[in-house]
Amino acid sequence: MTTRESTGPDHATTTLTIDLDALAANYRLLAARAAPARCAAVVKADGYGLGVAQVARALATAGCSTFFVAHLDEGIALRMILEDEDAEILVFNGLMPGSESAYRVYRLFPVLNDLGQIERWRRYCRQHGTHPAALHLDTGMSRLGLPPQETATLIAEPDRLSDLDLCCILSHLACADTPSHPLNREQQSDFAAAVKQLPETTASLAASSGIFLGPDWHFDMVRPGVSLYGVAPVPGEANPMSPVVTLEGTILQVREVDAPQTVGYGATHRFSGPARVATVAAGYADGYLRSISSRGVAYLGDTAVPVVGRVSMDLITLDVSAAPNARPGDSVELIGPHHDVDALAAEAGTIGYEILTSLGRRYRRHYTGGQP
Ligand SMILES: *Cc1c(COP(=O)(O)O)cnc(C)c1O
């Protein structure tokens, strides 16, 4: 594995390593799983916190040619990043008034989320030339997309879509990470019924977890995000994805303590006997969430060392009593082979998505792999 690129502060003592070969392998695994459906990639929120430039280039090299982002500005940034001018970039958040020309100039495809947006885009295209757009049908999220009544109107009045270059019709599953949830089948059949009555184009329903519900959910194109970055698509089952992220801290200081001393803000952890505490530079300002306080685990080699006391802004404290040789300069695994993103997320009471997208800017970032 060759280190390709390093970014971030020069003197950081905590290092985030992002394995672009693992990312590419995950893309290929999902694409094979979804075939014959095509596989797009969701790279919103700076490539789920991992750096959209590096992530998107590696995915393009792995064969991805359709990308989704949330914000128009993310789409504009991605257009500058991608070398392939024909790569498709779709923007989930829709067509806000005044943004039409940015879509055309940067060759981005808006995801139209209501009848008003459809009408506005048609009017714009009549004046400036046609340009593709996607349609989002809400089948159960009550978030973005045409509500069912508007979808019915569209089906009853097909003229509302005339002259529209429709590149994709999509919907989003609410409960795909719970395979037994009845809403999965309901949304699948509502979506299938709607696309059958709308102009023929690429239909897309499944994100990461939806791919694993089975072929009925794949339609023409799947659009995974989080699983590309190594997070388990089906919680509680063996994770088929390769880990992409490693987070390693360096011990800054080791403190010998004994009862009745305490550690950290609020004195929430009291030692009951002699112990050794190691301090590492990762805190809630770095996305090492405060809810991990007294619940998390790190690893010194193969030895589990628990987080003791509160996570503070810049630091965590680890009980390294089980590793009597631990000393300043030693490396500590915060996310890695012993302890993946999902494990840390469980300790934080959250999901892998939030851990990834919270990863801070004060870590040194190493990108490995990614060469064609
Ligand atoms: C974020 C998002 C995705 C990707 O979801 P993952 O669960 O990360 O795979 C797909 N579709 C829509 C509409 C999204 O908002």
Predicted model pTM: 0.97
Is 44 tagged catalytic?
A: yes
For residue 92 and ligand 1, the question of a CB distance below 6 A is answered with: yes
My answer on whether omega of the bond before 179 falls inside 30° of 0, hence cis, is no
Ligand 1 pocket: which of 29, 30, 33, 42 to mutate (most atoms within 8 A of CB)? 42
CB 195 within 8 A of CB 204: no
42 CA from centroid of ligand 1 (Å): 6
Cα distance between residue 163 and residue 161, in whole Å: 6
Query: Do the Cβ atoms of 121 and 101 come closer than 8 Å?
Result: no
C-alpha 145 to ligand 1 mean position (Å): 14
The DSSP secondary-structure symbol of 289 reads: -
Specify the pLDDT at position 170: 98
Q: How far is CA 174 from the centre of its chain?
A: 16
Distance CA 320, CA 167 (A): 56
Q: What is the pLDDT along the chain (372 residues), one digit of tens a residue?
A: 445 688 888 899 999 999 999 999 999 999 999 999 999 999 999 999 999 999 999 999 999 999 999 999 999 999 999 999 999 999 999 999 999 999 999 999 999 999 999 999 999 999 999 999 999 999 999 999 999 999 999 999 999 999 899 999 999 999 999 999 999 999 999 999 999 999 999 999 999 999 999 999 999 999 999 999 999 999 989 999 999 999 999 999 999 999 999 999 999 999 999 999 999 999 999 999 999 999 999 999 999 999 999 999 999 999 999 999 999 999 999 999 999 999 999 999 999 999 999 999 999 999 999 865
Which residue minimizes the CA distance to atom 6 of ligand 1?
A: 225
Kindly state if the Cβ of 49 falls inside 6 Å of ligand 1: no
Residues found in the chain? 372
226 lines ligand 1 (CB under 6 A): yes
pLDDT number for residue 39: 98
The answer, yes or no, to whether any atom of ligand 1 lies below 6 A from the CB of 208, is: yes
Q: Which two three-digit tokens encode residue 178?
A: 């719970």
From the CA of 207, how far away is ligand 1's center (Å)? 5
Q: What are phi and psi of 112, to 5 degrees?
A: -80, 130
CA 101 to chain centre: 28
Q: Which is catalytic among the residues 44, 103, 363, 367?
A: 44
Judged on CB neighbours under 10 Å (0-12, 13-18, 19+), 371 is exposed
Nearest to 90 by CA among 180, 32, 176, 170: 170
Tokens encoding 335? 């996310």
Q: How far is CA 275 from CA 61, 194, 264, 304, 334, in A?
A: 50, 63, 15, 15, 20
Is there an atom of ligand 1 within 6 Å of 111 CB? no
**Cα separation of 363 and 220, whole Å?**
39
The three-state secondary structure class of 332 is: strand
**Ligand 1: centre distance to CA 121 (Å):** 24
Residue 254 phi/psi, 5-degree rounding, is -120, 135
Give the pLDDT of residue 7: 87
